[in-house]
Structure 1
Amino acid sequence: MSQGVQVVGLYVRDHDEALAFYVDKLGFKVHTDVRNGDYRWLTVQHPEQPLFQLGLFVPGPPVLDAATAEDISAIVAKGAMPPLVLAVDDCRAAYEKLCACGVEFTQEPIERFGNIDAGFRDPSGNGWKMIQAGKQS
């Protein structure tokens, strides 16, 4: 039997805003976009990782009550969630490309620990680290 992580969820404040960011700016592809009443299951994939999906979920019913959803939205907006990591071959080139697409960075590329990394946030406040791995000895 084969098992593994297929979807990792990310809370966003608005599905359409998140979809535009992840598809139009970061280059992800829509995998699933289905609705059941007010509930929407929306996942995207990085084009080079077809077996892994990033779920873009608005906190709320039927999973969460309104008060909890509001609390979670506030925490995400403050950038308090752990960052996700986007691996890139050339951090500085990716930084320039994403800046040209309108991605707002919280940290320009910097070299540390043998890697080069930069930081940005999505429109909902979720933090990302973009990392170019150094050569391993």
Structure 2
Amino acid sequence: MDVKLKTCFIAVDDHDKALAFYRDVLGLEVRNDVSFEGMRWVTVGSPLQPDVEIVLEPPGANPDASPADRQAMAELLAKGMLRGVIFSTADCDALYARVQESGADVIQEPMDQPWGVRDCAFRDPAGNLLRFMEQPQV
């Protein structure tokens, strides 16, 4: 079976702040920026993974979501309760220094984990948890 990840979604409440973080701090490239019916979707991705995209979307962007569902999603986002993404990096400490310098909310400084990776964690401007993992050198 040939199955690969193509696209994942991260809810954001302010696309300009999200772009400043994902593009300017993390170095992801903007691949698409679409507005439709009062909503905006911005697609970003790593230049190292041209076939994988992250869509920054409004909370509750599903067209079938009720107003109550949209409100609940916005409230969960504001609390930092929505799931984020785990990124890999060749140098966790250098990435940590760059992201910390940007003023991002630090959740965990770089540390060696018992399962063999070195990682750190931040919240993006919308409150999503993002982890950055470095595989051990073999």
Which interval holds the TM-score relative to the shorter structure? 0.7 to 0.9
**Aligned 1:29-108 pairs, distance under 5 A:** 29-60=29-60, 63=63, 64-108=65-109
Question: What secondary structure is seen at the aligned counterpart in 2 of 1:71?
Answer: helix
Question: What secondary structure is seen at the aligned counterpart in 2 of 1:22?
Answer: helix
Give the match for residue 19 of structure 2.
Answer: 19
Amino acid at match of 2:129: G
Question: What secondary structure is seen at the aligned counterpart in 1 of 2:125?
Answer: coil
Tell me which moved more, 47-56 or 2-11. Answer: 2-11
Contact in 2 for aligned 1:107/1:118 (Cα 8 Å): yes
Does residue 122 (structure 1) correspond to residue 124 (structure 2)? The answer is yes
* Residue segments in structure 1 that go unaligned for 5+ positions in a row: none
Quote the sequence identity (%).
Answer: 33
Aligned residues: 136
Runs of at least 4 residues off by over 6 Å: none
Contact in 2 for aligned 1:43/1:55 (Cα 8 Å): yes
**Aligned mates of 1:105, 1:49 — CA distance in 2:** 26
What's the TM-score, normalizing by structure 2? 0.86
**Aligned mates of 1:129, 1:61 — CA distance in 2:** 24
Sort the Cα spacing of 1:129 and 1:3 in 2 relative to 1 into closer, same or farther, 3 A. Answer: closer
Task: Provide the alpha-carbon RMSD of the alignment.
Answer: 2.1
* Residue segments in structure 2 that go unaligned for 5+ positions in a row: none
Shift of 1:62: 6.1
**Aligned mates of 2:39, 2:80 — CA distance in 1:** 25
